[in-house]
Structure 1
Amino acid sequence: MSPGDEHDYRGKEQGGRTDDPYSTLGGTRQTRTRLPDGDPGHPHARRPVRNSRSLVTITGIVVLLVAAIAFANRGGSDDDASSGAKKPGTTGSAPTAATGTKPVQGKNGTIASGFAHDEQGAQSAAANYAVALGSAEMFSKESRHQILDTVYSSAAADKLRAPQDQAYSAEFLARLGLDPDGNAPQGSTFISRTVPVGTKVLEFDGDTAKVAVWYTGLIGMSGQDSTKPVSTTWKTWTAQLSWSDGDWKVTGASESDGPAPVPGDVAASKSDAISKAVEEYGGFTYAR
Structure 2
Amino acid sequence: MSLGNDNGYRSDSGRTDDAYSTIGGTRQTRTRLPDGEGGDGYGPPRRPARKPRSMIMMVGVIVLLIAAIAFANMGGGGGDDDNGGRGRAGGSPNTSSTAATGTKPVTGKNGTIASGFAHDEQGAQSAAANYAVALGSVEMFKKDSRHSIIEATHDPAVVEKLSAALTNAYSPEFLKNVGLDADGSSPNGLTFVSRTIPVGTKVIDQGGDTATIEVWCTGLVGMAGQGSTKPVTATWFTISEKLKWVGGDWRIESSSQKEGPTPVNGDNRASTADEIASAVQGYGGFTYAR
- TM-score where L is the length of structure 1: 0.73
Q: Indicate yes or no: 2:156 matched with 1:150.
A: no
1:224, distance to aligned residue in structure 2 (A): 1.0
SS at match of 2:208: coil
1:108, distance to aligned residue in structure 2 (A): 0.5
Q: Which residue is equivalent to 1:104?
A: 106
Q: Percent identity at matched positions? A: 55
SS at match of 1:266: coil
The partner residue of 2:54 within 51, 55, 58 is 51
Q: Which residue is equivalent to 2:254?
A: 252
> Any unmatched runs of 5+ in structure 2?
11-52, 70-74
Residues 46 and 263 of structure 1 are in contact (CA less than 8 Å); yes or no, is this contact kept in structure 2? Answer: no
Q: Which residue is equivalent to 1:38?
A: none
Partner AA of 2:243 in structure 1: L
Partner AA of 1:98 in structure 2: A
Taking the aligned partners of 1:284 and 1:203, their CA distance within structure 2 comes to 26
The partner residue of 2:67 within 34, 57, 61 is 61
Residues 87 and 97 of structure 2 are in contact (CA less than 8 Å); yes or no, is this contact kept in structure 1? Answer: no
Q: Indicate yes or no: 2:82 matched with 1:86.
A: no
Deviations 1:156-175 (A, max 9, x none): 11111111011111111011
Q: Return the structure number with greater strand share.
A: 1
Taking the aligned partners of 2:185 and 2:225, their CA distance within structure 1 comes to 13
Residues 216 and 233 of structure 1 are in contact (CA less than 8 Å); yes or no, is this contact kept in structure 2? Answer: yes
- TM-score where L is the length of structure 2: 0.73
Q: Which residue is equivalent to 2:216?
A: 214
With 94-103 and 215-224 compared, the bigger mean Cα shift is at: 94-103
The partner residue of 2:206 within 201, 204, 207 is 204
1:137, distance to aligned residue in structure 2 (A): 0.2
Taking the aligned partners of 1:283 and 1:234, their CA distance within structure 2 comes to 18
Deviations 1:71-106 (A, max 9, x none): xxx9989xx7xxxx63549x9735331111111111
Report the CA distance shift for 1:279/1:248 in structure 2 as closer, same or farther (over 3 A).
Answer: same
Partner AA of 1:204 in structure 2: Q
Residues 46 and 233 of structure 1 are in contact (CA less than 8 Å); yes or no, is this contact kept in structure 2? Answer: no
Q: Indicate yes or no: 2:230 matched with 1:228.
A: yes
Q: Indicate yes or no: 2:173 matched with 1:171.
A: yes
Residues 66 and 162 of structure 2 are in contact (CA less than 8 Å); yes or no, is this contact kept in structure 1? Answer: no
1:60, distance to aligned residue in structure 2 (A): 7.9
Taking the aligned partners of 1:87 and 1:179, their CA distance within structure 2 comes to 46
Taking the aligned partners of 1:59 and 1:219, their CA distance within structure 2 comes to 15
Higher-Rg structure is 2
Q: Which residue is equivalent to 1:68?
A: none
Taking the aligned partners of 1:152 and 1:227, their CA distance within structure 2 comes to 34
Residues 195 and 219 of structure 2 are in contact (CA less than 8 Å); yes or no, is this contact kept in structure 1? Answer: yes
Partner AA of 2:67 in structure 1: I
1:271, distance to aligned residue in structure 2 (A): 0.6
Taking the aligned partners of 2:210 and 2:182, their CA distance within structure 1 comes to 37
SS at match of 1:239: strand
Q: Which residue is equivalent to 2:29?
A: none
Q: Which residue is equivalent to 1:120?
A: 122
Partner AA of 1:86 in structure 2: R
Higher RCO (C-alpha 8 Å, min separation 6): 1
Q: Which residue is equivalent to 2:41?
A: none
Paired residues, number: 230
